[in-house]
Amino acid sequence: PFTAKCLKSGKTVEVEEGQSLLQALLDAGVPMDYSCEGGVCGTCIVPLVSGEVEHLDEFLMDDEKETNMITCVSRGVGEIEIDV
């Protein structure tokens, strides 16, 4: 499990094992666009502000991973901050 603090919406979501960050955000009422839910289309991208992320997508280039994450497949470690 990990925690995502959402700076724009002011929400903090807990993401359990077996649940995606995307799903946790949608459940919390954070408006999110998405399509493939498989880490390839890039629609569910969010700006990453701080924290360590395990990037599991096939979309981001290495130099984009410092400041972005793909919420349908990638996971935070501990606590992360995203700008949604």
Site for ligand FES in 47-76 (CB under 6 A): 57, 59, 70, 72
Contact call for residue 44 and ligand FES (CB under 6 A): yes
Count of chain residues binding ligand FES (CB under 6 A) = 14
Sheet holding 68-70, edge to edge: 12-15, 2-6, 75-82, 45-54, 68-70
State the first-to-last Cα distance of the chain, in angstroms, to the nearest integer.
19
Tell me: does residue 28 bind ligand FES (CB under 6 A).
no
Q: Which residues bind ligand FES (CB under 6 A)?
A: 34-37, 39-44, 57, 59, 70, 72
